[in-house]
Structure 1
Amino acid sequence: MTVVTLPDDSWVRDVGPVPGIEYVTWDLRTPPDRAEEVAVVVPPYTGASAQLSALSQVPRLDLVQLLTAGYDSALPLVPSGVRLANAAGVHDASTAELAVALTLAALRGLPDFVRAQSQDAGTWLPLHLHPALADKRVLILGYGSIGRAVAARLIPFEVELTAVASRARGGDELVPSVHGVDELPHLLPHADVVIVLVPLSAHTEQLVDADFLAALPDGALLVNVARGKVVDTDALVRATSHGRILAALDVTDPEPLPPGHALWSSPGVLITPHVGGGSSAFRPRAVRLLREQISAYAAGRQLRNIVHEG
């Protein structure tokens, strides 16, 4: 029998039995039961990054299966020779929904209405024609599975889509072609909305810098549901401080964003506290992935979403 750890009993119940697999629960906070036998570890969804050093307690560990799409913080803590898989696809629906919600909220001025309602007596704001999402030129920066999920949700809003990935390639049923990131200087001046979805790496850290922001037209909206470090925070503060561009951010650098940080008070900036994947859509998709991945492991089949071969 192959021993697999799951974060708690609820995950054991939901994933269900798999032939050849025996489950133990481990939240990475205490020494694991049957550490000498564990081959696969599924860390908890939240708070795992601070605990991943505990993986060194599992001498025969072969695979770490994350419940997050991002893996940049986990990679340095995975022991040598251990494979790492992320949860690509699990968060597509949740993150795509939030990307669209942030876009609509920022364009249609919803934060202003919330502030007006939260006043003691409430304030009925005068009519103001806010920008619509309809007819906007939307650039999706990072056209992987989440990027495609965003594109599919945006098409009914009657937008003009441009997809950008690390390299140019052919399109799909949603976009006629995918541009390479090297084309950004020519694409950004024509983008009304940029939705950032790239993973964090040495190539994407501070990809959205002062030159990137300066290339956007006045009134453009930057939506970041990727990682905070993809954006140069100081450059973003300067670009938004006078209202030249808008920003809707689910991630920031630093994170959590401390009280008093300039981004909190920058006009036209909407901030949510890294909740892109945190919806009711997460659990059933995560359970399906774990069931498929654990079954494949037990049967010796090819695994999904391997991001590090060990």
Structure 2
Amino acid sequence: MGILPLPIIDIGGLRSPDALAQIQVAEQLRKACEQRGFFYITGHGMDPALMEQALIASQRFFKLPMADKLAVDKKLSRCNRGYEPLRAQTLEHGAPPDLKESFYLGAELAASDSRVQASRFNTGPNQWPSGLRGFRRTMLDYYRAAYELGVCLVRGLALSLQLPANHFDGYLQDATATLRLLHYPPQPANPQPGEKGCGEHTDFGGLTLLLQDQTGGLQVWDKSSRSWTDAPPLPSALIVNIGDLFARWTNDRYVSTLHRVINTSGTERHSIPFFFTGNPLHRVECLPTCLNEGEQPRYPALTVEQHQMACYQRTYG
């Protein structure tokens, strides 16, 4: 069997007052989530100018001197915010560390916020580099736009699972999310065995919205052909993929698919994934529409926060 291309879904109908238009999009989401777990979205409503500004701002950050980047090192943050150097993370078990550097940010919360005071995982003040005019504003604008889009998609996923659109509202209340800026240098001419920009992995959370530049390098595992397929950038489109949390929630009906990055372009690659995580205290247990008669849940119930902490422990030790 040949490699199936990633679906392209116009999600504009999710914002329509017409229930039929919403259901038509939801049905496409269902098929994509069951078959591939990865798909492109168009009609998402995100401003193309903002998408371009976010990529440019990210490029400017990674061009800073190392001393400036290390001034906002993630090690200085109690909530995983800030800069992470090359080879700091190993996503593929048994492979060398990933050949990428990154910058993490989230919702702009003060240290006095009750969620910060309660030490919610991955929740707290951002760190911001000095000397990058407009960087903070651009990133927070992009974060808000991606967050709104994430909420829209989660409600679409509810419809796709034959649930009311508001079924996940508890999960969406005070939802956490992480925006990660990524910079991949070119793949070395003589890499270590198994060395990649980003080792094969599945994402931790509910869903991921990916903005990538024109370089390419993302590859998605095709289960039917047991091979890797490229997921190149498409103009104005974003890539969405289901994470481990939603796979667990749906009893693996919706698949969290392996993917990796190998930057053989000979030039630098930049991408910006937005990881929609959800309400840390929300309880996740198998959805009633994802159990056939006589079938049992594959996973015990747990909170979003418990799931995230276990996933981080696996890749950061």
TM-score by length of 1: 0.23
TM-score by length of 2: 0.23
Structure number with greater CO (CA < 8 Å, separation at least 6) is: 2
Structure number, greater radius of gyration: 1
